[in-house]
Amino acid sequence: MGDDCGGLSANRAVGQEKEILHLFQRRFMVERKLGKGGFGQVFVGRRVNGGNERGTGSDAMEVALKFEHRNSKGCNDGPPYEWQVYNALGGSHGVHKVHYKGKQGDYDAMV
């Protein structure tokens, strides 16, 4: 049985988590892991450089960073469906702003 987006075997989880944290280290500081599940892993982070939205470093707004492995069961047919939903609802009251979505290494990432 194959791995899903977040359900990693114990021997692979540590290595993949380090890879995930490394992907955005130049743009975002990952502060802590919120959780993982069948559709990826989610971390809390802050912008460390670039951009002009509410500062950088400890003064920057918190963001959620979500990573889904591209070989997972929900990610085989191109970008995650969730991206389409955010594109359709973007700018609506109560819907979070997407700062970034794209491919990072073997992962589909959304901030």
Q: What are phi and psi of 15, to 5 degrees?
A: -65, -40
- DSSP-based helix, strand, coil % in the chain, nearest 5: 25, 30, 45
The whole-angstrom distance between residue 19's C-alpha and the CA centroid of its chain comes to 12
**Is 66 annotated as ligand-binding?**
yes
What residues form the annotated binding site for ATP?
Answer: 66
What residues form the annotated binding site?
Answer: 66
